[in-house]
Structure 1
Amino acid sequence: MIARMSDLRHHGDVDAAPGLQDFAVNVRGSAPPTWLRERLAEALGRLGTYPSALDDSRAREAVAARHGRDPDDVLVLNGAAEGFALLPALAPRLAAVLHPSFTEPEVALRTAGVPVHRVMHRDPVPDDADLVVLGNPTNPTSELHPAATISALARPGRVLVVDEAFMDAVPGERESLAGADLPGLLVLRSLTKTWALPGLRAGYALGAPDLLRRLATHRPHWPVGTLVLEAVTACAEPHAVEEAAAAARELEDHRAWLAKQLGDLPGVHVHEPAAAPFLLIEVPNGEHVRLALRQRGIAVRRGDTFPGLSTDHLRVAVREPARCADLLAALAELTTEVRTP
């Protein structure tokens, strides 16, 4: 069990470093596509004025059309992480966070003094939890949960927060609740991964208008900038959704290939089925393996900062097969070493 808040705040960008082959951060490509960079460049001319209500309305309308919702059901965010930081504004009496999962929701809630109950693996959610947080697909396990299973957690008087930061990497976005009408449902989406925008911080929340108003209670005026609003608008347009869908299908093939290669290595266990742009693996003497990979110029994400996992767990970002040769060769050597008497 992790005791230190600093461990919970460890993320893959810490494991990655310039000069390393990056299998620690789950971002598609090293920069946004050309068409998106051009859209953002065109918006630079508007930086001399404050973000307008029209910019916000355009972004919310685009997202609403993408998910079959009303614009009032959309709140544009500085990345999905801002949505987690805003959760204490909902004033929950008891929050249940399903683990292992992305740790920022727990950090935000504990920092605000909200009691947090960790629901490990498939343990039951406490009946009196009035805020429930889970990821789908879940980071770091890459598990995709059935929408019906998640929906069953909704009930009157409870806010159900579903982190769908990686859902646009799932072909058909199957099991998504982004368009669902459930009481207390709050869905968080990110543009960071699919569109290579970690430096911009762009995302949005979907939920009933009154719930979004409560969530945004303590936000400052002009909470998101012009470039974020432009990015959200652009990435919700039909051509972008089609591009993301094609990328998701390609990713599915790459993930299946990498899972097979990793699973064939001595002593390596791959957590499957997997649906996200990463795989969770378990290897003997995982801390040694991770550090040895780093010495060979390869970064993977440590797993022990996720509640419920150990130093033997590593998260590996899915890359195209041509980029995986060094990783697989190094892992084959290292896992053979640790198993040899």
Structure 2
Amino acid sequence: MHAQLTGAATGPDPADAPDAGDDSVDLGHHGDVEVGEGLVDLAVNVRRDPPPRWLAEPIAASLADLAAYPDPGPARAAVAARHGRPPAEVLLTAGAAEGFVLLAQALRGIRRPVVVHPQFTEPEAALRAAGHTVQRVLLDPADGFRLHPDRIPADADLVMIGNPTNPTAVLHPAADLAALARPGRVLVVDEAFADTTVAPDVPGEPESLAARRDLPGLLVVRSLTKTWGLAGLRIGYLLGEAALLRRLATVQPLWAVSTPALAAATACAGPEAVRAERAIAARLAADRDHLVTRLSTLPGVRVAGRPASAFVLIHRPGADRLRDELRRRGWAVRRGDTFPGLGPDWLRIAVRDRATTDAFVTVLAEILEA
């Protein structure tokens, strides 16, 4: 089975998934809920390093302008220049998650929205909250959670997918994603972790569609909170056709993006930021390879697919109990059973430095031996 199509009211998937479209999965559960005082955080996919000087200084300087209403113009122009687009094809948002809410609220006329799972749950949660009936395409873990474009219903007028996908860390080929675009359909590609990806001899972000202006209905969702540790600042943006973005902007609150967040967006769009992102992504890849290598030595632990982002997904029978024991020993990891298409035997682990990884794997090995 390459993928399974499910509706919003069908029963449980007979495989490992706890849900195949019903309401039993907690779509509002996120990694920050897993973290507690005294726990080492492997549950949240946000870098913990302090912002570099070129980013911290503009944010701090912006505090002098808080009496004025935010002006998104300069930040929008900077983001547009980074991706080779006109400013009209950029919509700044209060974090990438706001973009999903705007989509769900503005596109009331869609008939058949499809969300490809496992993936970040906020897109579906936003659609449901707006009254849409959602269908799911569940990718097959036995196939490495690969996307097969022909499995997406031809009459779907909204398709949502992540790339690289959270929580699987799978990086889908850009050609497969582009094959989903067509007139009359909005294709939403969540690239919140695109800046964490690297590939040999490929400059920039492999498989990203952020600069593509030729695909009808394409909307790319981006986040600046992961690599730069800005989750508390709330800054992201949408890239797409100007007419579609104008439609989304009609349901966005006035001054939705704060002045400090706009300063961060401007700084993160500059050449120094892009160079720094590439260097961080390269180091992340090395740390991820180390984590995967260490995990592969553990009995019964299987790493899903070929991870390409800031986290890895693992499968082991009884992983829910394993998570509880890790917690008792001071480690927080992300449970898998709140992602449609997964179940209690899955865990997501954030990539950290090698010393943290080694300490974690040592504890995990002790638990497995016991």
Output the TM-score relative to the length of structure 2. Answer: 0.88
Residue in structure 1 matching 2:86, options 70, 73, 78 = 70
Amino acid corresponding to residue 217 of structure 1 in structure 2: T
Match of 1:15 in 2: 34
Match of 2:171 in 1: 144
- Report which of the two has the higher share of helix: 1
Alpha-carbon RMSD: 1.3
Structure 2: runs of 5 or more not aligned: 1-17, 140-146, 199-203
Matches of 2:209 and 2:178, distance apart in 1: 8
Segment of structure 1 superposing worse, 114-123 or 272-281: 114-123
Residue in structure 2 matching 1:169, options 196, 220, 223 = 196
Matches of 2:244 and 2:205, distance apart in 1: 24
Matches of 2:222 and 2:24, distance apart in 1: 24
Question: What SS does structure 1 have at the residue aligned with 2:264?
Answer: helix
Structure 1: runs of 5 or more not aligned: none
State the shift of 1:141 in Å. Answer: 0.4
Matches of 1:234 and 1:271, distance apart in 2: 35
Question: What SS does structure 2 have at the residue aligned with 1:148?
Answer: helix
Is the 8 Å Cα contact of residues 162 and 186 (structure 1) preserved in structure 2? yes
State the shift of 1:224 in Å. Answer: 1.3
Question: What SS does structure 2 have at the residue aligned with 1:324?
Answer: helix
Instruction: Render the CA deviation track for 1:275-304: whole Å, top value 9, x for unaligned.
Output: 010000012211110000000010000011
Matches of 1:248 and 1:48, distance apart in 2: 37
Match of 1:41 in 2: 60
Is the 8 Å Cα contact of residues 283 and 335 (structure 1) preserved in structure 2? no
Match of 2:8 in 1: none
Matched, 1:179 2:198: no
Question: What SS does structure 1 have at the residue aligned with 2:229?
Answer: coil
Match of 2:341 in 1: 308
Residue in structure 1 matching 2:48, options 29, 36, 45 = 29
Residue in structure 1 matching 2:103, options 75, 87, 112 = 87
Amino acid corresponding to residue 172 of structure 2 in structure 1: H
Is the 8 Å Cα contact of residues 25 and 338 (structure 2) preserved in structure 1? no
Matches within 5 A, 1:91-240: 91=108, 92-121=110-139, 122=147, 124-171=151-198, 172-181=204-213, 182-240=215-273
Is the 8 Å Cα contact of residues 278 and 317 (structure 1) preserved in structure 2? yes
Matches of 2:259 and 2:25, distance apart in 1: 32
Output the TM-score relative to the length of structure 1. Answer: 0.95
State the shift of 1:6 in Å. Answer: 6.9
State the shift of 1:31 in Å. Answer: 3.2
Match of 2:3 in 1: none
Is the 8 Å Cα contact of residues 284 and 335 (structure 1) preserved in structure 2? no
Segment of structure 1 superposing worse, 35-44 or 312-321: 35-44
State the shift of 1:125 in Å. Answer: 1.0
Is the 8 Å Cα contact of residues 138 and 144 (structure 1) preserved in structure 2? yes
Aligned residues, how many? Answer: 334
Matches of 1:291 and 1:264, distance apart in 2: 21
Is the 8 Å Cα contact of residues 31 and 197 (structure 1) preserved in structure 2? no
Amino acid corresponding to residue 130 of structure 2 in structure 1: A
Is the 8 Å Cα contact of residues 25 and 337 (structure 2) preserved in structure 1? no
Question: What SS does structure 2 have at the residue aligned with 1:132?
Answer: strand
Question: What SS does structure 2 have at the residue aligned with 1:162?
Answer: strand
State the shift of 1:18 in Å. Answer: 2.5
Is the 8 Å Cα contact of residues 268 and 335 (structure 1) preserved in structure 2? no
Instruction: Render the CA deviation track for 1:231-256: whole Å, top value 9, x for unaligned.
Output: 11111111011001100001011101
Instruction: Render the CA deviation track for 1:178-223: whole Å, top value 9, x for unaligned.
Output: 0001110000000110000010110000001101011122112212
Match of 2:9 in 1: none
